[in-house]
Amino acid sequence: MSIKPQPFTVSIAQSVLDDLQARLALTRLPERETVDDWDQGLPLSYARELLDYWRTGYDWRRCEAELNRWPHFKAEIEGLDIHFIHVKSSRADARPMIMTHGWPGSVLEFVNVIAALTEPEDAAQPAFHLVLPSLPGYGFSGKPDVAGWSVEKIAAAWDMLMRGLGYDRYFAQGGDWGAMVTSAIGAQDKGACAAIHVNMAVATPPPEVLAEPTPFEAQSLMRAGWYQEKDSGYSKIQSTRPQTLGYALTDSPMGQMCWIIEKFHGWSDCDGHPENVFSRDHLLDNVMLYWLNATAASSARLYWHSFAAGNLSEIQVPTGISAFPKELFRPSRRWAETRYKNIVYWNELDKGGHFAAMERPELFVGEVRRCFAGMAL
């Protein structure tokens, strides 16, 4: 497929930033909470801290400059403008790889791993040409105005993108929705994707796991149970009423921020507070990609598009799986093998959570390297 990538520069009008400041100044916070922890969501005291910093200490232009260090492009695929960062390695033996983020993340999840993956200091380590797209309805990508942009359609679009960039063979990697898209690329197996790596493997637990779980599996089932009981309300709303939710979050920057940052607490290996592993600036940078582009509804709509389909087709292509301890869904190998039929790399890590590339960049880079090191395209 022929595509025509056009260079793109991240440039937000000052009037948009002024509007944000005006809205933050008018923020109305709820009454005092009845708990002093995260049981009901993001604590009021931390919300106030973030609000004050966002108003007086945060600098979007810093983030804008950091983003523009990398080459950005847009290309029309299936009638939709897709934004992507495309960083080519100087190494002659570098291999192409597409890496996909999820919700409530963005391409900013990968900024701290780009250099290590494209230009490793150790010549013995593999190098990659990286393609980092923003999901449809996220970041600087276009917003679908028709139904149908499910995980499967995005996977097919990513294959078109890679082939359109001249990569007849490539690797694919992802976490969260990115893992679902990456798995769908593997399941579709259109002939160009040589292998995949995911840091969130999703598979239905087989009867033997439910009947006699190992200690690892019991812990994984407990984590999944916690998610279903205490942490999945956002998912039910986004998969059923994304438009209604979008009005509130698109109108209130504080609401959008709290809706997102709560997950960086519950889904990361952060010892009780997200800023133990993420900088405050990096957290707000990610929020800004949602706020500045007004993507509350369009990003949430991916749940509405995809959940009904199931998205659990078997994958036959070579697969690497890295199981981080605080991941939401962390199957054992025998559990994962019910869906991923050709696991060639498997590792259970001691540290890290759902936002692996952003949270533990060195560990993440090591996992990707080891997964693909010996593979040929």
Q: How far is it, in rounded angstroms, from Cα 318 to Cα 341?
A: 8
> Which pLDDT value is given to residue 82?
98
The residues, ordered by sequence, that sit 6+ positions from 136 with a Cβ below 8 Å of its Cβ are: 80, 82, 142, 143, 144, 149, 154, 157, 298, 302
Name the percent of the chain lying above pLDDT 90. Answer: 94
Q: How far is it, in rounded angstroms, from Cα 256 to Cα 296?
A: 7
Residue 307 has pLDDT above 80, yes or no: no
Spacing of C-alpha 188 from chain mean position: 21
Residue 276 has pLDDT above 90, yes or no: yes
Helix H, strand E, coil C: the string for 179-235 is: HHHHHHHHHHCCCCEEEEEECCCCCCCCHHHHHCCCHHHHHHHHHHHHHHHHHCHHH
**Is 47 a domain residue?**
no
Q: What is the mean pLDDT of residues 339-358?
A: 97
Q: What is the mean pLDDT of residues 76-105?
A: 97
Q: For the chain, what is the mean pLDDT?
A: 96
**Is 269 a domain residue?**
no
Q: Which residue has the tokens 């990096």?
A: 282
Catalytically active residues, by annotation: 176, 303, 354
> Which pLDDT value is given to residue 311?
67
Domain region containing 140: 6-20+60-239+305-372
Which CATH number does the domain housing residue 317 bear?
3.40.50.1820
pLDDT band at 36 (very low <50, low <70, confident <90, very high): confident
Q: What is the mean pLDDT of residues 51-60?
A: 98
**Is 247 a domain residue?**
no
Q: What is the mean pLDDT of residues 14-19?
A: 98
Q: How far is it, in rounded angstroms, from Cα 243 to Cα 237?
A: 10
Spacing of C-alpha 158 from chain mean position: 15
Q: What is the mean pLDDT of residues 322-349?
A: 96
> Which pLDDT value is given to residue 337?
97
The stretches of the chain forming alpha helices (DSSP H) are: 14-25, 44-56, 60-67, 114-118, 151-164, 177-188, 207-211, 215-226, 233-240, 242-251, 253-266, 280-292, 296-306, 333-336, 356-359, 361-372
> Which pLDDT value is given to residue 32?
84
> Which pLDDT value is given to residue 310?
62
> Which pLDDT value is given to residue 377?
83
**Burial bucket for residue 169 (CB in 10 Å: 0-12, 13-18, 19+):** middle
**Is 276 a domain residue?**
no
Going 251 to 252 to 253 to 255, the CA torsion angle's sign is: negative
Which is nearest to 144 in space by CA: 299, 6, 294? 299
Token reading at 297: 């509804």
Spacing of C-alpha 221 from chain mean position: 22
**Is 94 a domain residue?**
yes
Q: How far is it, in rounded angstroms, from Cα 195 to Cα 178?
A: 15
> Which pLDDT value is given to residue 84?
98
pLDDT band at 308 (very low <50, low <70, confident <90, very high): low
* Three-state secondary-structure class, residue 76: strand
Q: Answer whether 0.85 is exceeded by the pTM.
A: yes
Q: How far is it, in rounded angstroms, from Cα 114 to Cα 365?
A: 9
Number of domains in the chain: 1
Q: What is the DSSP letter of 32?
A: P
**Is 40 a domain residue?**
no
* Three-state secondary-structure class, residue 85: strand
Q: How far is it, in rounded angstroms, from Cα 310 to Cα 204?
A: 11
Token reading at 16: 């948009």
**Is 257 a domain residue?**
no
Q: 276 or 308: whose pLDDT is higher? A: 276
Name the percent of the chain lying above pLDDT 70. Answer: 99
Kind of pairing between the strands at 343-348 and 319-323: parallel
Q: How far is it, in rounded angstroms, from Cα 156 to Cα 124?
A: 33
pLDDT band at 266 (very low <50, low <70, confident <90, very high): very high
pLDDT tens-digit readout, 235-261? 999 999 999 999 999 999 999 999 999
**Sheet containing 72-77, strands listed edge to edge, beginning at the edge strand earlier in sequence:** 6-8, 72-77, 80-87, 128-133, 95-100, 170-174, 193-198, 319-323, 343-348
Residue 139 has pLDDT above 70, yes or no: yes
**Is 317 a domain residue?**
yes
CA angle at 121 for the pair 115 and 123, rounded to the nearest 5°: 120
